[in-house]
Amino acid sequence: MNIAKVGFVSLGCPKATVDSEHILTRLRAEGYLISTSYQDSDLVVVNTCGFIDSAVRESLDAIGEALAENGRVIVTGCLGAKDDVVREAHPKVLAITGPHATDEVMEAVHQHLPKPHDPYTDLVPPQGIRLTPRHYAYLKISEGCNHRCTFCIIPNMRGDLVSRPVGDVMAEAESLVKSGVKELLVISQDTSAYGVDVKYRTGFWNGRPLKTRMTELAEALGSLGVWVRLHYVYPYPHVDDVIPLMAEGKILPYLDIPFQHANQRILKLMKRPGNSENVLGRIRRWREICPELTLRSTFIVGFPGETEAEFEELLDFLKEAGLDRVGAFAYSPVEGALANELPDHVPPELQEERLARLMLLQEEISEEKLKRKIGKTMTVLVDEVVEEGAVARSFADAPEIDGQVYIDGGKHLKAGDRVEVVITDSDAHDLWGDLVL
Ligand code: SF4
């Protein structure tokens, strides 16, 4: 087996040395070998110093030597912070980071020299251990959340948003696709905030720059040739930017966007953005751009202080918005959530009654919307094959939470197959179809 070897040049002060140690430790921990010669290395990392002119010269010379002797060079350290100086002198370097940037250096190394995998010693396969079937996978892009919705304690438990380096996310996505995954489900606590914490820093994927931002990530994922589905998209204005990607077929025209309520006073009590007029206007515009768009949302019913009129405003919103998929929950206090302190909690019986009314209305909306699909041809992804035939999903159905498409006579199919069906029947949740032969 050919083990990936990294050459390392460490210049500068003790702080830079510590940075070098961190990077070397990570490289070794991930199974890379550290090589002592340029010729024997698959790539070279140069940790630079930029303190005084002579140090800058020495660093630039070291980069030049590594390029001449090896050709594949990643620059880090203080001179790396002056990205333009390095690029001007050595335009061919693979990537440049500033000091204290172990994660970014590792991201660049992963891009240019994939992480070694030893099937005899590694406990996990290259695509990691997965709990989902082989043909779809969840791709977590960040952890934590910068919002403080009053019904939620996730930020207390997981802290503020921390985005994964975009190169790492893409490398994981590629590895999943190579292992047979046909659908990537992008998840996080707040997908549209991806990259806010790192100021949308530019990372690298396959040697090309890629911003740590939802739209750019979605487009890059869309280029992998599999279904890409976005979940937990907080309703920021820039969500508008991903709709054209859906219209162009780059990612699935599916948006899971929790609105939580439609009444402005309740949204304010929840510390959520939006007013229903704006949201309805945006939904209209999204559908003009991408008529196929499937919208899934979640709502909380019976939030503290919710009046009958405010609840009815939510029902009116649902009628007007015509959302395709809706999950709704009766508000229940979570220990530590600020909403617990709000006055006028809605009695449980009333909450349940409102929940039932909302679900009934949504069922009618859903039934009507699914009926309109009869006669259409759709591409579906097979999830499993049972006694009666194959059970699949269309672009409009996320696994576990949305509906299914039952295929008559699809017993020869297998999980992960993508096939065309003509829709023949529907109910409030699911579709039935025949294979297009
Ligand atoms: S509900 Fe979602 S957006 Fe709001 S604080 Fe919790 S995790 Fe963040």
Question: Alpha-carbon distance 133 to 296, whole Å?
Answer: 23
How confident is the model over 144-176, as pLDDT tens digits?
899 999 988 888 877 899 999 999 999 999 989
Taking alpha carbons only, the member of 43, 106, 94, 101 closest to residue 77 is 101
3-state secondary structure of 325: strand
pTM of the model: 0.73
Q: How far apart are CA 340 and CA 333, in angstroms?
A: 6
Angle at 25 between CA 23 and CA 31, to 5 degrees: 105
- Three-state DSSP state, 434: strand
Residue ranges lining ligand 1, Cβ < 6 Å: 145, 147-149, 152, 154-155, 189-190, 234
- Cα distance between residue 93 and residue 113, in whole Å: 14
Tokens standing for residue 268:
């304010």
Quick: pLDDT tens for 29-88: 778 888 888 988 999 999 998 877 788 889 999 999 999 999 999 999 988 888 888 999
Q: Token pair for residue 315?
A: 């029902």
Torsion angle (degrees, nearest 10) of CA 132, 136, 142, 144: -40
Give the span between the Cα atoms of 26 and 24, in whole angstroms: 5
Mention every residue, 6+ apart, whose C-beta is less than 8 A from residue 255.
230, 233, 239, 242, 246, 286, 293, 294, 295, 296
Hey, whose CA ends up nearest to atom 6 of ligand 1? 152
Contact 118, 1 (CB under 8 A): yes
Burial of 437 (0-12, 13-18, 19+ CB in 10 A): exposed
For residue 56, what is the enclosing H or E element?
helix 53-69
Residue type, 215: T
Ligand 1 closest atom vs CA 152: 6
Which residue of 143, 152, 256, 299 sits with most ligand 1 atoms within 8 Å of its CB, as the best mutation to test the pocket? 152
What token pair was written down for 115? 């992480």
CB-based burial label for 183 (10 Å; 0-12, 13-18, 19+): buried
Sign of CA dihedral 227, 232, 234, 235: positive
Residue at token pair 């696994």: 399
Cα–Cα separations (whole angstroms), residue 249 to 153, 225, 253, 290, 383? 36, 11, 7, 10, 22
Helix (H, G, I), strand (E, B) or coil at 197: helix
Q: Helical H runs in 195-255?
A: 214-222, 243-247
Output the tens digit of pLDDT for each of the chain's 437 residues.
577 899 999 887 766 777 787 788 788 877 888 888 898 899 999 999 887 778 888 999 999 999 999 999 999 998 888 888 899 999 999 999 988 888 889 989 988 998 776 655 455 555 555 666 779 988 989 988 999 999 888 888 778 999 999 999 999 999 899 989 999 999 988 999 999 999 999 999 988 899 999 999 999 999 999 999 999 998 888 899 999 999 999 999 999 999 999 999 999 999 998 777 788 999 999 999 999 999 999 999 999 999 999 999 999 999 999 999 999 999 988 888 899 999 999 999 999 999 999 999 999 999 999 999 999 999 999 999 988 889 999 999 999 889 999 998 778 899 999 999 999 999 999 999 999 97
| Residue to substitute in 190, 232, 257, 298 for testing ligand 1 pocket (most ligand atoms within 8 angstroms of CB) | 190
Q: Which atom of ligand 1 is nearest to the CA of 153?
A: 6
The pLDDT of residue 114: 85
The residues near 356 (Cβ < 8 Å, ≥ 6 apart) are: none
The pLDDT score that the predictor gives to residue 273 is 80
Contacts of 185 (CB under 8 A, 6+ apart): 136, 137, 138, 139, 229, 231, 398, 399
Residues 6+ apart with CB under 8 A from 113: 4, 6, 32, 42, 43, 72
Considering only CA atoms, which residue is closest to atom 2 of ligand 1? 189
Taken in order 205, 210, 211, 213, the sign of the CA dihedral is negative
Q: How far is the CA of 229 from the CAs of 132, 192, 242, 295, 348, in angstroms?
A: 15, 13, 11, 12, 35
Residue 394, classed as helix, strand or coil, is coil
Helix/strand number for the chain, H first, E second: 12, 20
Q: Whose CA is nearest to atom 3 of ligand 1?
A: 147
Tracing tokens 């430790």 back to the chain, one arrives at: 25
∠ CA(130), CA(131), CA(134), 5° rounding?
70
Q: How remote is the CA of residue 148 from the centroid of ligand 1, in Å?
A: 6
* Atom in ligand 1 nearest the alpha carbon of residue 260: 1
Atom of ligand 1 nearest to the CA of 271: 4
Residue 43 contacts residue 8 (beta carbons within 8 Å) = no
